[in-house]
Amino acid sequence: MGSFSIWHWLVVLLIVVMVFGTKKLKNIGSDLGGAVKGFKDGIKEGGQSAESGAEAPAPSASAKVAHENSGDKNTIDVEAKQKS
């Protein structure tokens, strides 16, 4: 039973082309390629934001003072900045 020979794979390919047609297979290939490209771009963007986050400056003295003056130790005063 072992592995399939090249002739087995050619017959399977021929059946797949006959069932789906070349146009659908081309569309599936382009969709898959676009998904892979989007995934790679997302990974690159995620790596850049993690690197820039590691290089972020320490909080200012006023932020530390606001945290120290708060009555509740679990509350942290922060500013939200909008991504441009």
Report pLDDT digits (tens) over 20-62: 888 888 898 899 999 999 999 998 887 776 556 555 555 554 4
Give the pLDDT confidence score for residue 20 in this predicted structure: 87
Whether pTM > 0.85 for this model: the answer is: no
Closest CA to 42 of 53, 30, 50: 50
Give the pLDDT confidence score for residue 49 in this predicted structure: 62
Give the pLDDT confidence score for residue 67 in this predicted structure: 45
Give the pLDDT confidence score for residue 57 in this predicted structure: 54
Alpha-carbon gap, residue 57 to 64, rounded angstroms: 13
